[in-house]
Structure 1
Amino acid sequence: MVKIGLLGVGKLGKIHLTQLLAIPQAEVVGFYDPNEKVAEEVSQQFQVKRFPDVESLLQACDAVDIVTPTPSHFPLAEQAIRSGKHVFVEKPMCSNLSEAEALVKLVSEAHLCFQVGHVERFNPAFLALQDYVLQPMFIEVHRLAQFQPRNTETSVILDLMIHDIDILLHLVKSEVHRISASGVAVLSESTDIANARIEFENGCVANLTSSRISMKKMRKMRLFQKDAYIGIDFLNKKTEIIHLLPADDTTPAIDNQAAMLSFDLDTPQGKRRVAVHYPSIPEVNAIRMELQLFCDSILQQKPVAVNAFEAFQALKIAYQILDKIQKNTPIML
């Protein structure tokens, strides 16, 4: 059993609290939140102990789940690690690269479990592909959200696009060669809509668009690789695979057991069979799964699902994109 405390019980923090209470291996000892009104409401609603400060919470637990505004991630994580506590922290792991680098060093020296909440790794639509060989050479991503006044002090790169940056680095086993980007601040003081092109050393190219001023929501990733197209709908939890079958394949036109439809297509190399496959989507809650894996890592002394170095790499790419946008933004006189 892991005695775990929660730092921050805002909108996302309450979701984390709900999921932690459903994990058998987790014993929620309580939470701390500086907002008196919110803290009292959450304490009454969930019947969970409210601690008066961070230090008293740390003394009562083995691990903490940090779901606070990004600027507080580093000081809280540092305090927890120096107190000998395991840490789960929401993305992005820190406000800037110097903090993130310091945290990576601190974690490596502490020999504690430190996991970052890149939750899309555990999206059912993405998990449906875990047994499929993914070797994409072109990737198209659209992550669009409607405008919310909350978190507008953080750019759309760190708020939304970083999810897809993490997935890219997880999928493409190659160094980044070149980055180009542009973005605009429309309704807030930070970038609200952005596009980035990431070129990898192995030739793979990724085109990412993120917006928080869209009229509709969309979270889609399209992967193109040799003889295959893979579509991932993170929002609606749907996945499809369209691929060319080997020339000698004798798959019937419709295979209900494999949820696969196939048809013939004329190509320059002759007639080929095309298969459309809809893999089964696992019924999992992504936040509960990542927190469950965090607890498992502590109890079983095994590596975490998303470690500090991986999160640092994603943050580093995010800041390179931000730098490109800043250099491309004209100065208003």
Structure 2
Amino acid sequence: MNLHMEDAMVKVGIIGLGTMGRQHAEAYRQMPDVQLSVVYDHHMDRAEAFAQEFGATVAHDLSEFLKGCEIVDICTPTYRHTEYALPAIQAGKAVVCEKPLARTLQECEQIVEAVRRHNALFMPAHVLRFFPEYRHAHQMVKAGALGAVAAVRMRRGGDFPLTKSDWYADFEKSGGIIMDLIIHDLDWVRWTLGEVERVYAKALTFRNLEHLDYTLVMLRLRNGAIAHIEGTWCDPGGFRVSFEICGDAGMLEYDSQQMVALRVARRAEAGQAGGVEVPESPAVENPYYLELRHFIDCYRTGQQPEITVEDGMEAVRLTLAAIESVRTGTVIRL
């Protein structure tokens, strides 16, 4: 990496060319200083078509792939993240890796240790932090706009995700709805409100229902706040997310199905009339572009990404605690 070559093209390679690989490639295509130079996928026909569409070279093995790029972007299914992250880090590449960081805590620890040992530039791609509504809500909470936050309710989901290999339906590969889907919200809660003390969860994950999953996860945070996160892969009506954040100075609401997406109701000061609802709608920019642009800028400047490899590991730790609670029917203390 040459920090002084600000006008040089940055060469990026993508491993895994499914839905997320395409999402990332489309984002890079909008960056005039980035070249998608090489791609790699186990399905060679998909890799050839993808490379032709985006003007990239197809690598036939990992060694060839690593020689063709400066930044490695891992978009494979979760259970293969470590398989590609470790060689990329050891090869001295900057790495951005889709969430979850890895399938097991042991694998996460291996990645964290490798990042530290090689002083690697690494970012887990927790894209929810770059969605404008969630980012704005985070900033408002941190600024004290809602006062002391007491309760959070979050909901995320739609229909069951189907792929050619159907890997989402294999719990050992995907971690089910808790690890794959609501890890977004678990990470957001920890980012915004701090560390979690206790976890209790229920889910359909182990009921042997084909292409259906649902969970409700309850968290007690160290600061005393309570959060409950609902995730569904049972809703054929389309993907939807929502949240409510309640503090002693007001409440913040968001529902992706409402036209006015973000609503803020502030409590009046003592002696004044009731709070007035003030609609706020942050400008919508592509979160995947914002996330990857941030990482490219960090690569150019040598700054550390705002999402650390440790953040990625802690998000996985929360999902595993929730899964353990589902399996055992008990409260898990962290």
| Fold similarity call, TM over 0.5 | yes
- TM tier relative to shorter chain: 0.7 to 0.9
* Aligned CA distance change for structure 1 residues 113 and 190 (closer, same or farther; 3 Å): farther
1:240 corresponds to 2:263: yes
Indicate how the Cα distance of structure 1 residues 204 and 168 shifts in structure 2: closer, same or farther if over 3 A, else same. Answer: same
Aligned partner letter, 2:309: A
How far residue 11 of structure 1 moved from its aligned partner, in angstroms, is 1.8
Distance of 2:218 and 2:16 partners within structure 1:
34
1:151-230 to 2 correspondences below 5 Å: 151-153=168-170, 154=174, 155-173=176-194, 175-185=195-205, 188=209, 192-216=213-237, 217-230=239-252
Residues 21 and 271 (structure 1 numbering): CA distance in 2 closer, same or farther, change over 3 Å? closer
Instruction: Identify which range, 229-238 or 132-141, moves more after superposition.
Output: 229-238
Question: CA separation in 2, counterparts of 1:12 and 1:123?
Answer: 16
Aligned residue number for residue 80 of structure 2: 72
- In the TM superposition, residue 234 of structure 1 has moved relative to its aligned partner by 5.2
1:313-328 equivalences under 5 Å are 313-328=314-329
Q: Flag the 1:91–1:222 CA change in 2: closer, same or farther, 3 A.
A: same
Give 1:305 shift: 2.5
Please give the TM-score of this superposition, normalised by the length of structure 1: 0.86
Corresponding residue number in structure 1 for 2:27: 19
The one-character-per-residue Cα deviations of 1:59-115 (angstroms, maximum 9, x if unpaired) are 121111000011110010001000000000000010100000111111112112101
Distance 1:312 1:164 in 2: 15
Say if 2:53 is the partner of 1:30: no
Give me the whole-angstrom Cα distance separating, in 1, the residues matched to 2:296 and 2:204: 40
Q: Does 1:142 align with 2:162?
A: no
CA distance in 2, matches of 1:85, 1:28: 15
Residues 88 and 95 in structure 2, CA contact (< 8 A), matched pair in contact too: yes
Aligned to 1:292: 293
One-letter identity of the residue aligned with 2:56: V
Superposition RMSD in Å: 2.0
Deviations 1:191-214 (A, max 9, x none): 811111100121100011111112
Unaligned runs of 5+ in 1: 248-269
Tell which structure's C-alpha radius of gyration is larger. Answer: 1
Query: Structure 1, residues 131-182: CA drift from partner, whole Å, max 9, x if none?
Result: 5225522000111211233322220001111000000001103x32211111
Q: Distance in 1 between matches of 2:40 and 2:199?
A: 40
TM-score (norm 2): 0.86
Q: Please identify, of 20-29 and 56-65, the stretch whose mean Cα deviation from structure 2 is larger.
A: 20-29
- Cα distance in 1 for partners of 2:329, 2:210 equals 16
**CA separation in 2, counterparts of 1:191 and 1:111?**
41
Q: CA 1:147–1:323 in 2, change beyond 3 Å: closer, same or farther?
A: same
**Residue 89 of structure 1 pairs with residue 97 of structure 2:** yes
Distance of aligned partners of 1:34 and 1:160 in 2 relative to their CA distance in 1, 3 Å threshold? same
Which letter does structure 2 place at the counterpart of 1:296? D
Q: Which amino acid aligns with 1:43?
A: A
Deviation at 1:246, TM superposition (A): 2.3
Aligned counterparts of 1:105 and 1:192: Cα–Cα separation in 2: 33
Is this contact kept in 2: 1:5–1:65, CA < 8 A?
Answer: yes
Residue 124 of structure 1, aligned match among 132, 145, 152: 132
2: CA distance, partners of 1:318 / 1:167: 13
